[in-house]
């Protein structure tokens, strides 16, 4: 049997969810999209093994990669990178000497 045993779900998930999530403004959503991309690789490996295109057990490494601490660290790294960019943007604003306007949220005493 060749291809399609899972109806190429990994490909649809990649196009429909991962690509969208990786373009999000939210660092958490982008990080999840990056993790989901790793999961898509595992799904692809599973499908190719189940279709007979790859030898049995070929999917094990991809599944382990999706489940291991490295994937979690990848998410943390993505969030930390976005946080660093936000800090740089804030520093740039503060150093530009432009007045910062705020809206009062508490009653003045």
Burial 40-78 (b: 16+ CB within 10 A, else e): bbbbbbbbbbeeeeeeeeebeebeebbeeeebeebbeeb
pLDDT per residue over 38-60, tens digit each? 999 999 999 999 999 898 888 99
Q: In sequence order, which ranges of the chain are alpha helices (DSSP H)?
A: 9-13, 19-21, 27-50, 60-67, 69-95
Which position has the higher pLDDT, 5 or 108?
5
pLDDT per residue over 62-105, tens digit each? 988 888 766 677 777 777 888 898 889 888 888 887 766 666 55
């Amino acid at each position: 049997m060749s291809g399609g045993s899972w109806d190429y779900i990994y490909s649809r998930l990649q196009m429909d969810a991962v690509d969208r999530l990786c373009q999000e403004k939210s660092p958490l959503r982008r990080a999840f999209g990056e993790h989901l991309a790793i999961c898509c690789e595992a799904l692809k490996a599973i499908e190719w093994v189940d279709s007979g295109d790859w030898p049995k057990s070929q999917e094990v490494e991809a599944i382990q990669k999706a489940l291991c601490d490295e994937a979690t660290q990848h998410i943390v790294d993505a969030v930390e990178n976005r946080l660093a960019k936000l800090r740089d943007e804030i520093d740039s604003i503060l150093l530009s000497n432009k007045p910062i306007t705020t809206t009062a949220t508490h009653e003045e005493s």
